[in-house]
Structure 1
Amino acid sequence: MSAPPRERLSDVLAGIGPLAVAVSGGVDSLTLAAMAHHVLGGDGALMVHAASPAVPHEATSRVRAQAAGAGWSLRVVEAGEFADPNYRANPVNRCFFCKTNLYGTIRNVTDRPMVSGANLNDLGEYRPGLDAAREHGVRHPYIEAGFDKSAVRALARELRLGAVADLPAAPCLSSRVETGIRIEPEILGFIHTVETLVGTALGGPPEPGRAVRCRVRAAGIVVELDPLSLAALDGDARDALAARIRSCNPAGLPDAPVRFLAYRTGSAFLTGVSA
């Protein structure tokens, strides 16, 4: 009879020993950090969070709050990806360069084994960041223990992490920029502003099923929403939001109509475009 999921994860973490957790501020990495702290103690688990224009400030604040409340050992660093021209060019494998900079920075902070919050669901998607992880010897305890996203959320509830368990998926802001459009901090700030604006218009706390993505495309701005959110915005609400969004456009973005469409995972990636 196989061991329960939490026991399997505990065994994986204990087998690694003192480690460093890459903590982005989402449900996966925060839950892994909490579990690593539980299994290995304050001296055994070092949490490393990279602050960046591509990371919403709410995520950084969430990591700091969790660390302070639980007594985690935390280092907040600048990963330096914005100094990397390969990352800024936004090729289809941009995540490879992002994670290469992240793991290189963590390695400069500590010589401990590094772990990430990747889970089984990530294996079914295009994730060039996993290639960077492999090159840096990063381990994925959830994958080793057989955890998918639902199992991670269940563990977050078991660990009493409160609202963390229900955080909607939130990849970095650069994932909203169409392949080949240069990554600029001003554009990422605009994306965050739009998603906050639309989320506020929808009302209520974010839930796991909610998706709000502001896509910056060569042809204009697209706001992608989950089916329930898309249906909740009637024509007048969309027109009002579109006008507010256009008023926020930073220099360099096309003054094109704002479209509201159904959410599609990874729709900003254009395969076959290298830069």
Structure 2
Amino acid sequence: MTEKQLDQLVEWFRPWPSVIVAYSGGVDSALVGWGAVQALGNSALAVTALSPSVSENDRELSAAVAHEMGIQHQTIHTQEIELAEYRANSPTRCYFCKSTLYSTIRSKYPASEFPLIVNGTNLDDLGNHRPGLAAAKEFQIRSPLVELGYNKQIVRSLAHLAGLTVHDRPASPCLASRIAYGVEVTSDRLLRVERAEKYLRSLGFQEFRVRIEPGELARIELHPEDLTQLVSSPMREACVRVLRELGFRQICLDLAGFRSGSHNELIQFNAASK
């Protein structure tokens, strides 16, 4: 990747007097935030949503990366979990979450002060199951990475070139994405997932998911090279004990290994079967 592509990102923001970046602390929104602050300085504001679906680890990281970039950073509390449509956890759950996020941002920061809101959607996201994209369109949220034609690989390379420490950080979707469609999203389940993943992180695993399936079953996804480590004694017994103490009735290890968005596999399977 080249300095020219970084310059293009910065130049994308220059016509605007001010901007809000819907910012999670992940590499995509971090790169967008970097471009915004390079172009607009203190007229760029990163806004992070706080809710039960955002882990403490992600909250801390978003603040640290914002400080690293030198961008102004504020948090807002979103109440998507109060929506019955969100808690029902259909495949369109993300739409209600993003609608809540964007409406909360716009109600706190009027267009007269911040005419532009942007997000970190990249080109690859357009080919995935992303109901939140519809909400972004409804609220006229812009996606500079998409408009510039930057996919995830380009984003990571540019973030590294920009000196962002999150350039190689694994994706970290919201905790609600760990709950199988049709299983109600509750604060208790979100907290249970957060604590289970915090435990696995303490064991030294870097990229993984603890997913909740019907019947309070925990399905653990690890990279294939990590599977043998978890099933070895005494780590296996300790993991079972900890997750049962958290409220999981059964614990299983997914032999297919870690993959992002595995709950969407059922959607794809059903679509292919029609």
TM-score in terms of structure 1 length:
0.87
In 1, Cα distance between the equivalents of 2:91 and 2:41? 39
Is contact 1:202-1:229 (8 Å) kept? Answer: no
Q: Which residue of structure 2 lines up, in the alignment, with residue 259 of structure 1?
A: 253
Is contact 2:243-2:251 (8 Å) kept? Answer: no
After TM superposition, the structure 1 = structure 2 runs for residues 73-84 of structure 1, keeping only pairs within 5 Å, are 73-84=72-83
The reply on whether 1:212 has 2:208 as its aligned counterpart is yes
Taking only the aligned residue pairs, the percentage that are identical comes to 34
The reply on whether 1:191 has 2:193 as its aligned counterpart is yes
Q: Which residue of structure 1 lines up, in the alignment, with residue 245 of structure 2?
A: 247
After TM superposition, the structure 1 = structure 2 runs for residues 88-167 of structure 1, keeping only pairs within 5 Å, are 88-110=87-109, 111=111, 112-162=115-165, 164-167=166-169
Is contact 1:32-1:117 (8 Å) kept? Answer: yes
The reply on whether 1:224 has 2:221 as its aligned counterpart is yes
Q: CA deviation at 1:33?
A: 0.9
Q: CA deviation at 1:191?
A: 0.6
Which residue among 165, 169, 172 is the counterpart of 1:170? 172
Equivalent AA in structure 1 for residue 226 of structure 2:
S
Equivalent AA in structure 1 for residue 260 of structure 2:
T
Equivalent AA in structure 2 for residue 228 of structure 1:
E
Report how many residues are paired: 259
Tell me the alpha carbon deviations over residues 180-224 of structure 1, each in whole angstroms, 9 at most, x when there is no partner: 111111111111111121122135xx4xxxx31111000411001
In 2, Cα distance between the equivalents of 1:145 and 1:135? 21
User: Structure 1 stretches (4+) deviating beyond 4 angstroms?
Assistant: none
RMSD: 2.0
Q: Which residue of structure 2 lines up, in the alignment, with residue 235 of structure 1?
A: 232
Q: Which residue of structure 2 lines up, in the alignment, with residue 49 of structure 1?
A: 48
Q: Structure 2 regions of 5+ residues with no counterpart?
A: none
Equivalent AA in structure 2 for residue 217 of structure 1:
E
Equivalent AA in structure 1 for residue 89 of structure 2:
N
Q: Structure 1 regions of 5+ residues with no counterpart?
A: none
Secondary structure of the 1:178 match is coil
After TM superposition, the structure 1 = structure 2 runs for residues 264-275 of structure 1, keeping only pairs within 5 Å, are 264-269=259-264, 270-271=266-267
Secondary structure of the 2:203 match is helix
Q: CA deviation at 1:3?
A: 8.9
In 2, Cα distance between the equivalents of 1:212 and 1:99? 24
In 1, Cα distance between the equivalents of 2:198 and 2:254? 15
